[in-house]
Chain A
Amino acid sequence: MIKAGKPAPDFAAPAYYQGRFTHVELSRYREQWVVLYFYGGDYTFV
């Protein structure tokens, strides 16, 4: 259950990043501000 003021659920996912395929874990971004940006699909406006 998502709530403002509560911890963000951790996750891991495959990713494309600057020409490479990689793997991202949210927990690796501690000590940084993070924006998660969900959208419906590639080739749409986001």
Chain B
Amino acid sequence: MLSLSVDSVYVHKVWNESELSKMVPGGVPFPMLSDPGGAIGREYNVYNEDTAVDLRGTFIIDPDGVIQGYQVLTSVVGRSTDEIIRQIHAFQIVRESKEKEFTPADWKPGMTVLKPAVELVGRVWEMWKPVRTRE
């Protein structure tokens, strides 16, 4: 986990000490990167030239350095860490299976995975019956 904003490392330090350490025991457990001027943000297409800060961009990168997925939100809505963790679990399971197993919509850890095969075509409805947990 690497966080990035245009703030300096000095502001990161003070923010961690004065506020974040009150929310997370021991403070932030990952490196807080500084990208003044937004060069990295531009590279990842999340830098907002009008406000001179980054959008809420999340990128999942696999052990080969390949971007497996990303999401970008404007500044008004915060992210779901549960969803990010779910996606990483899913990508890890697929990778461990050497892409023999895939995870369908609304999959969560512990649920059935799908093994693509000719026999599965037209029969996903039998294999995969996600339970709606939301009203």
- A: residues with CB less than 8 A from B are 1-11, 13-19, 21-22, 24, 26-27, 29-46
Contact = CB atoms under 8 A, between A and B. Distances in A.
Interface of B: 1-7, 9-13, 15-16, 19, 27-35, 39-41, 43-46, 51, 53-70, 75, 78-79, 84, 88, 91-92
B65 A27 contact: yes
Given A7-B67, A9-B43, A35-B1, A40 B75 contact: yes
Secondary structure at the A interface, as helix, strand, loop or mixed, is loop
Contact of B61 (A17, A36, A39): A36
Given A24-B2, A37-B4, A41-B6, A8 B67 contact: yes
A18 B32 CA distance: 9
Contacts of A36: 2, 4, 44, 57-59, 61
Nearest to B92: A33
Contacts of B6: 41
Contact of B68 (A5, A26, A44): A5
Contacts of B10: 16
26 contacts: A4-B68, A5-B67, A7-B65, A7-B66, A8-B59, A10-B65, A13-B40, A15-B2, A15-B9, A15-B31, A17-B31, A19-B27, A24-B31, A33-B62, A33-B91, A33-B92, A36-B61, A37-B58, A38-B44, A38-B46, A40-B5, A41-B6, A41-B53, A42-B12, A44-B75, A46-B78
B44 to A, nearest CB: 6
A38 B19 contact: no
Contacts of A21: 9, 13
